[in-house]
C-alpha cells in the first residue's frame, strides 16, 4: 500500500476545517477535506472574528477578501435590560498599539468557509469533497486510513494524520474514544434574526450588545446578511417549562422580541432556530495520528464569540507544529505540546470566560447584580483595566499564556 507521507486528511469543512486545510496547504502539505453535507452549510452560528484571529487570517491572505464584506465593530456594550442603563462600553481602538486590526469583524462563518473553498480549494493538493461521510478510521504505525462513503460508493483514503474538525458530535473524536468532559445547560438558546434596524430605534446601541436580565438575558448584534441593510441577531435563553413548539412559533418569536424591544407592529423575521448548548473539552487533543480541533475538541456557549475563534487558533497552532513534524522531521511529541497548549487555552480561558459571561448576564440576586455592574463600570473607566479586559475578551491573553506552555 502506498503511504502518503505528505498528506493530511481533514474531517469537516466548516470554518475551522477550511482554515486548517489552507494553513497546511500553504506549507506545501497535501490536504483532502471530507464533509458529509452536499455543499457549504449556510448555518447562522458564529459571526464574530476577533482581532487576534484576523491577524492569523491576514497571514493566509484571507482578510483582504472578507473585510469588505463584513461589518467592522470597534465597540461593544454591556447593558442592564431592566433599566436600559449602559453599564460599560469597550473600544478596541484603545488597543491599536497591540492589534493590527483593532476591531471585531462581524462576518458569518458560512461565508468564511465559502470564501476559502471558492478561492483556494479543489486544486490537486487542496481537495475538498462534499457529500463524503467518514465511516471508520484505522490507525497503523506509519499511516492513517479512512473509510469514506461518497456519492459513488465506499472509498479508502490514506494519509499521515487525520484532523477532526467535525463538530461537537465528532466522528473522529468518538473513533479515538476520547472523553468529552463537561456539562450541558438545562435551557436551550434561541437565535432570532430580523431586518429591523435597531440602531434606527436605538442610535446608542453598538453592533455588539450584551443585555443583563435576571429572567431573560439577551445578546444583540448585527451581521451583513445577504441583502441590503443587514440583519440583527438576538440570542435568548429559553424559559423553564417553555415548549419547543411555542419557542419557534410566530407568536412566540414576536412575543420574545417585543418583550425586550417593544415597537409598533410585528418584526420581520428572517430566520429563527433553537439549539442546545454545552461546555465541554476533550480529554486530549491528540491520540497517535488522530488530532482534534475546534468544536471536535471543545464546545462552549456563544456569549463573547469565542468558539470559532478558539478553533481557528487551534489549527494555526497545529499547522505550524505539524509542518515541523512532516517537513522538518521534528519529533512528533511536538503534537503533544499542541494538545497541552490548546487544551489549556480551552479550559483556562474560553471555558472560564464564557461561563463567567453567562453568569453575569443571568444573575438573579439584585445585590450580586449591582456588585457585578459596579465592577464592570470600574474596569471600563480605568484605561489599563479596560485594555486588560479587552485582551482577555479578544483571546490575546489566552494565546500568550498557552503558547508559553512546553
- Using one digit for the tens of pLDDT, what is the confidence trace for 224-271? 988 888 999 999 999 999 998 999 999 999 999 999 899 999 999 999
pLDDT of 41 reads 74
Question: For residue 267, is it within any domain?
Answer: no
Mean pLDDT of 52-70: 95
DSSP string, 135-186: EEEEE-SS-EEEEEEETTEEEEEEESEEEE-S-TT-HHHHHTT--EEEEE-S
pLDDT of 226 reads 86
Domain range for residue 394?
7-71+107-183+278-403
pLDDT of 287 reads 97
Cell 465593530 found at? 73
Residue 3 confidence class, pLDDT cut points 50, 70, 90: low
3-state secondary structure of 266: coil
Residue 1 confidence class, pLDDT cut points 50, 70, 90: very low
| C-beta neighbour count of 72 within 10 angstroms | 14
Question: For residue 320, is it within any domain?
Answer: yes
Q: Can you say whether residue 131 is alpha, beta or left, with left for phi > 0 and alpha for psi between -120 and 50 degrees?
A: left
The alpha-carbon radius of gyration of the chain (Å, integer) is 22
Question: For residue 144, is it within any domain?
Answer: yes
CATH assignment at residue 113: 3.50.50.60
Look at the chain and report how many structural domains it folds into.
1
Question: For residue 377, is it within any domain?
Answer: yes
CB 40 within 8 A of CB 113: yes
pLDDT of 36 reads 94
Q: Where are the alpha helices (DSSP H) in 8-152?
A: 15-25, 51-59, 63-66, 109-120
Give percent of the chain with pLDDT exceeding 90: 87
81-132 pLDDT, tens digit per residue, is 999 899 999 999 999 999 999 999 999 998 998 889 888 877 779 999 999 9
> pTM for the whole thing?
0.95
Question: For residue 306, is it within any domain?
Answer: yes
Residue 188 confidence class, pLDDT cut points 50, 70, 90: very high
Residue 179, Cβ density class (10 Å: 0-12 exposed, 13-18 middle, ≥19 buried): exposed
Question: For residue 29, is it within any domain?
Answer: yes
Question: For residue 264, is it within any domain?
Answer: no
pLDDT of 329 reads 87
pLDDT of 372 reads 95
290-336 pLDDT, tens digit per residue, is 999 999 999 999 999 899 999 999 999 999 999 999 998 889 999 99
Q: Compute φ and ψ for 355, nearest 5 degrees.
A: -65, -45
Amino acid at each position: 500500500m502506498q503511504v502518503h507521507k505528505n498528506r493530511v486528511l481533514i474531517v469537516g469543512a466548516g470554518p475551522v476545517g477550511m482554515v486548517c486545510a489552507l494553513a497546511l496547504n500553504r506549507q506545501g502539505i497535501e490536504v483532502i477535506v471530507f464533509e458529509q453535507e452536499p455543499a457549504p452549510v449556510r448555518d447562522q452560528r458564529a459571526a464574530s472574528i476577533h482581532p487576534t484571529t484576523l491577524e492569523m487570517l491576514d497571514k493566509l491572505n484571507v482578510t483582504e477578501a472578507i473585510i469588505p464584506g463584513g461589518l467592522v465593530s470597534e465597540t461593544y456594550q454591556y447593558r442592564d435590560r431592566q433599566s436600559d442603563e449602559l453599564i460599560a462600553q469597550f473600544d478596541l481602538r484603545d488597543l491599536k498599539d497591540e492589534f493590527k486590526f483593532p476591531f471585531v469583524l462581524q462576518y458569518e462563518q458560512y461565508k468564511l468557509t465559502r470564501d476559502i473553498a471558492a478561492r483556494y480549494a479543489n486544486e490537486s493538493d487542496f481537495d475538498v469533497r462534499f457529500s463524503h461521510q467518514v465511516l471508520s478510521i484505522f490507525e497503523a504505525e506509519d499511516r492513517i486510513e479512512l473509510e469514506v462513503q461518497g456519492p459513488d460508493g465506499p472509498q479508502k483514503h490514506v494519509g499521515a494524520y487525520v484532523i477532526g474538525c467535525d463538530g461537537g458530535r465528532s466522528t473522529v473524536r468518538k473513533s479515538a474514544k476520547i472523553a468529552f468532559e463537561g456539562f450541558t445547560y438545562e435551557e436551550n438558546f434561541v437565535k432570532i434574526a430580523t431586518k429591523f434596524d435597531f440602531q434606527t430605534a436605538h442610535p446608542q446601541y453598538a453592533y455588539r450588545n450584551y443585555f443583563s436580565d435576571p429572567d431573560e438575558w439577551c445578546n444583540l448584534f448585527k451581521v451583513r446578511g445577504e441583502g441590503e441593510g443587514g440583519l440583527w441577531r438576538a440570542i435568548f435563553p429559553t424559559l423553564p417549562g417553555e415548549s419547543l413548539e411555542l419557542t419557534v412559533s410566530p407568536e412566540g418569536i414576536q412575543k420574545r422580541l417585543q418583550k425586550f424591544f417593544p415597537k409598533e407592529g410585528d418584526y420581520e423575521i428572517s430566520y429563527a432556530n433553537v439549539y442546545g448548548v454545552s461546555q465541554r473539552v476533550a480529554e486530549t487533543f491528540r491520540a497517535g495520528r488522530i488530532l482534534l480541533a475546534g468544536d471536535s475538541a471543545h464546545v462552549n456557549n456563544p456569549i463573547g464569540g469565542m468558539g470559532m475563534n478558539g478553533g481557528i487558533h487551534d489549527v494555526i497552532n497545529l499547522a505550524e507544529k505539524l509542518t515541523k513534524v512532516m517537513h522538518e522531521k521534528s519529533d512528533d511529541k511536538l503534537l503533544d505540546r499542541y494538545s497541552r497548549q490548546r487544551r489549556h487555552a480551552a479550559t483556562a480561558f474560553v471555558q472560564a470566560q464564557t461561563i463567567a459571561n453567562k453568569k453575569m448576564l443571568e444573575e438573579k440576586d439584585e445585590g450580586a447584580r449591582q456588585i457585578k455592574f459596579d465592577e464592570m463600570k470600574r474596569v471600563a473607566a480605568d484605561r489599563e483595566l479596560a485594555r486588560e479586559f479587552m485582551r482577555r475578551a479578544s483571546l490575546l491573553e489566552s494565546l500568550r499564556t498557552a503558547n508559553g506552555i512546553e
